[in-house]
Amino acid sequence: MTNTTYDDNDSKALYNTAWAVLKTSASQNLTGWYDETFHSCNTGYITGAQMCTATIDFTGTHIALYGDANPAQGRFFCYLDGEPWNWFDGSEFLTGKYTKLSLDHLRCSVKGISNGSHRLVFGQDKISAGTNGITLDYFVIDDLTAAGDSAVWTSEFASTTPQTGYANTTAIPSTISSTSSPISTASSTESSSPSSTSTPSSGGGGISAATGAGIGVGVGAVGLAVLGLVIWLFCRRRRGISGAKSSGSLSTTHDLDNMTMRSAAPGGVVPYTSYSPVAQGGSPGLPEIQPAGEVQPYSSTAPYVSRSQAGSQFAGLEDPQTFSSRGGR
**pLDDT tens-digit profile, the chain (329 residues):** 899 999 999 999 999 999 999 999 999 999 999 999 999 998 888 776 689 999 999 999 999 999 999 999 999 999 999 999 999 999 999 999 999 999 999 999 999 999 999 999 999 999 999 889 999 999 999 999 999 999 999 999 999 999 888 989 988 755 443 333 344 333 333 333 333 333 334 444 445 555 555 566 566 677 777 777 878 777 777 666 555 455 544 444 444 444 444 444 445 444 444 444 444 444 444 444 444 444 445 445 445 444 444 444 444 555 555 555 555 54
Give residue 163's pLDDT: 87
Are 128 and 274 in the same domain?
no
Between CA 97 and CA 71 the distance in angstroms is 8
Give the domain range for residue 280: 254-291+302-307
313 within a domain of the structure (yes/no): no
Which of 175, 209, 243 represents a domain boundary (last residue)? 175
Give the pLDDT confidence score for residue 48 in this predicted structure.
Answer: 67
- Domain end call among 175, 193, 210: 175
266 and 167: one domain? Answer: no
Residue 74 DSSP symbol:
-
Give the residue from 228, 225, 204, 200 showing the smallest Cα distance to 217.
225
Q: Which residues contact 134 (CB under 8 A, 6 or more apart)?
A: 40, 41, 52, 67, 73, 74, 76, 90, 107, 123, 124, 128
Domain containing residue 54: CATH number: 2.60.120.260
Mark whether 164 and 23 lie in a shared domain.
yes
Write down the pLDDT at residue 117.
Answer: 97
Verify that 143 and 276 share a domain, yes or no: no
Total structural domains within the chain: 2
- Residue 260 confidence (pLDDT): 45
User: Does some domain include residue 201?
Assistant: no
Q: Is residue 138 included in any domain, yes or no?
A: yes
CB 188: neighbour CB atoms within 10 A?
A: 11
Residues 271 and 134 in one domain: no
Q: What is the pLDDT of residue 40?
A: 96
Residue 320 is assigned to a structural domain of this protein: no
Report the relative pairing of strands 269-271 and 138-142 from DSSP bridges. Answer: unpaired
In a domain, 190, yes or no: no
Q: Given 141, 175, 209, which residue is the final one in a domain?
A: 175
Report yes or no on 214 lying in a domain: no
